[in-house]
Amino acid sequence: MQPDLTQAAPEAMLSVRGLKKVYQTDGGDIEAVRNLTFDLRAGELACLVGPSGSGKTTLLKCISGLMAPTEGEVLLDGKRVTGPPKKMAVVFQEYGRSLFPWMRVRDNVELPLKNQGMPKAERDRLVDEALEAVGLSGVPRSYPWQLSGGMQQRVAIARAIAYQPEVLLMDEPFAAVDAQTRADLEDLIRVVWKKLGVTVLFVTHDIDESVYLGERVIILSSSPTVIQEDIVIDLPAGRDQLNTRSLPRFTELRHHVYEQIQLAKRGHRPAASSAAQTPTTPTSTASTFGPA
Amino acid sequence: MKVLKTLGYLLGLPVLLILLWWSSTLGAVNFFVPTPATLVSKFGEVWFGERFFTDVLPSIGRLLVGVVAAIVIGVVGGVLIGSIKWLRALLEPTLEFFRAIPPPVLVPVLMLLMGITDSMKVVVIISGCVWPVLLNTIEGVRAVDPVLSDSSHTYGIDGWARVRYLVLPSASPQIMAGVRQSMSLGLILMVISEMFASSAGLGFTIVQFQRSFAIPEMWSGIVVLGLLGVGMSFIFQWAERNILRWYHGQKEVENAA
């Protein structure tokens, strides 16, 4: 049965339909992503977690329009993505290589807006707000490389916020910062998400992080990738590093995701994917994994 | 104190060399090696008169026009060739051919084609100076960081904005390395372009002095060339410090880590 490629769930902001990506190399074709279908509602914060080499980055490149999928499509607000869409911002893992080293912090944040031809006054306001939101009001005159890794990633986040995207994609953004900075940045993302009501897709390989951050966790199988499981994270909305992480429910969810990742690593694939195509899974049916 | 120290480093070796030269020419009368005093007096006499306007300034003018034109052509061509794959495939073998031709052999050819004119001399300078800039720019453009490139794409920084905000700054360290080579090449080619069938210019004058056995005058001309080289190097260093401030700062931070 073909998935219904024409109809995204009506409230979906981001919709990935039957996405498949095959790389053609000299050594033959490599199927990185087999078949992925999922929807993100407007304002949702979902984490995408999978074993290493599960095609997370490929998927993100297809969603952000940097790479064309072999089959299937990505819809942003109902419109097919064919190139980097205007309503989307991406934060990459390599903060040191995603900011312009020849521009000061403020110019880095401002550039995408300037490039859109936004008037100076409005630009200034958005840049100030964004820098304020990530706690960097003090360093607009510095160059990115004068800042610590965590601060550089804050600049990248500020640039994404100032761009006023409807969808924010984050590709393992905290994988290269130290643990304490990481905790701060995780909380920052929750705050920003709540404040702006933006739809966030957060890719990570860190299981704890996915459960702590997400309202929903999409677990990927190993490559060629399909969706292993899609679960709702029913933790209280107000999260903090100490209390949330010590909740019994957090431990249960973490345990469950961990098990699924282990299964995925051993090559286990969900029953549905054995029939080459998974039926469309609207967001509403994302399973709520009950207490054991 | 700091100024004195800088001045000491700047002038220490030249002063030492001049002293050495002075002491070794004491008493000796070698026709081909003038004493420092003779050279200085000849220097003022020869170069700070009419010759300054008829030979020195026109030479410097041609040098500047040639080098600047070579930089512009090299950067524009390099950005195009570096960013467009099919253009690169099409041009690279031919470029290798032209690059291999030593510019001095072009002088007689260009003389026939263009006559003994200022433009001929400028073209000789360009034909040699364009290569370091062009080839370095191509390499710099091709080496743009893929993550930075993706970042720019996702924020809709494309077309001319991409060249201006991403490609050119990113390639600027390589471009500047090319410019530095071009400047010294330019000085050499300026002299060579004036050596054949010319009637004015620094190169012509120096050869003329040599042929008429005006040895101190000839040496003073060589000193002018050396000073010109030093001047250009200072201008280059000043420009480089300003353009590549970020690059040196970043390197410093990386090395400290």
pLDDT at B139: 93
Segments of chain A scoring below 70 in pLDDT: 1-10, 271-292
C-alpha pair distances (Å), B230 with each of A70, B46, B180: 59, 20, 12
In this structure, of A207-216, A270-279, B48-57, B230-239, the range with the lowest mean pLDDT score is: A270-279
| Candidates A98, A115, A143; nearest CB to B161 | A115
**The predicted structure's pLDDT at residue A110:** 94
Q: What is the pLDDT of residues B163-179, one digit of tens each?
A: 999 999 999 999 999 99
**Structure confidence at residue B60 (pLDDT):** 92
Q: pLDDT-based confidence at B82, cuts 50/70/90?
A: very high
So what's the ipTM on this one? 0.82
> Quick check: A42 and A15 in contact, CB under 8 A?
no
Which 228-257 residues of chain B touch chain A by CB within 8 A?
246-247, 249-250, 253-254
* pLDDT of amino acid A280: 42
**pLDDT, tens digit, 9 for 90 and up, residues A192-236:** 898 888 999 999 988 999 999 999 999 888 878 888 888 888 888
- Taking only the tens place, the pLDDT of each residue in B60-71 is 999 999 999 999
A97 chain-B contacts, CB cut-off 8 A: 145, 147-148
pLDDT of residue A146: 92
What are the structural domains, with CATH classification, of chain A?
41-68+79-265 (3.40.50.300)
The C-alpha of B114 sits at a distance from chain A's nearest C-alpha, in angstroms, of 43
Q: Choose among A193, A198, A149, A194: nearest CA to A174.
A: A149
Least CB–CB distance from A146: residue in B145, B170, B253 = B253
Interfacial A residues in 87-116 facing B (CB < 8 Å): 88-90, 92, 94, 97-103, 111-112, 115-116
**pLDDT for res A286:** 54
The residue of chain B with its CA nearest to that of A65 is B154
Better-predicted residue by pLDDT, B98 or B67: B67
Flag if B155 and A94 touch (Cβ within 8 Å): no
Q: Give the closest-approach CA distance of B152 to chain A in angstroms.
A: 8
Q: How far, in Å, CA of A167 to CA of A157, rounded?
A: 13
In this structure, which amino acid lies at residue A164?
A: Q
- A165: closest CA among A17, A42, A15? A42
The reply to whether B182 touches chain A by the CB within 8 Å rule is no
Q: Is residue B50 pLDDT above 60, yes or no? A: yes
Mean pLDDT of B232-240: 93
pLDDT at A277: 41
B156·A112 Cβ contact <8 A: yes
CA dist., res. B167 & res. B145, Å (int): 10
Q: Is B157 on the interface with A (CB under 8 A)?
A: yes
Q: Do B250 and A143 touch (CB under 8 A)?
A: yes
Q: Are B240 and B63 in contact (CB under 8 A)?
A: no
Q: What is the pLDDT of residue A275?
A: 40
Decide: residue A270, CB within 10 A, 0-12 exposed, 13-18 middle, 19+ buried.
Answer: middle
Q: In B, which residues are within 8 Å of A103 by CB distance? A: 165, 246
Q: How confident is the model at residue B14 (pLDDT cuts 50, 70, 90)?
A: confident
Q: Is A143 on the interface with B (CB under 8 A)?
A: yes
Contacts of B161 in chain A (CB under 8 A): 115
> What's the CA gap between A187 and B50, in Å, rounded?
76
The whole-number pLDDT of residue B34 equals 83
* A168 and A160 Cβ atoms separated by less than 8 Å: yes
The alpha carbon of residue B156 is apart from the nearest alpha carbon of chain A, in Å, by 7
Q: Report the gap between the CA of A103 and the closest CA in chain B (Å).
A: 8
Answer yes or no: do A111 and B147 touch at CB < 8 A.
no
Average pLDDT in the B62-91 region? 94
Q: Give residue A127's pLDDT.
A: 94
CB pairs under 8 A between A and B: 68
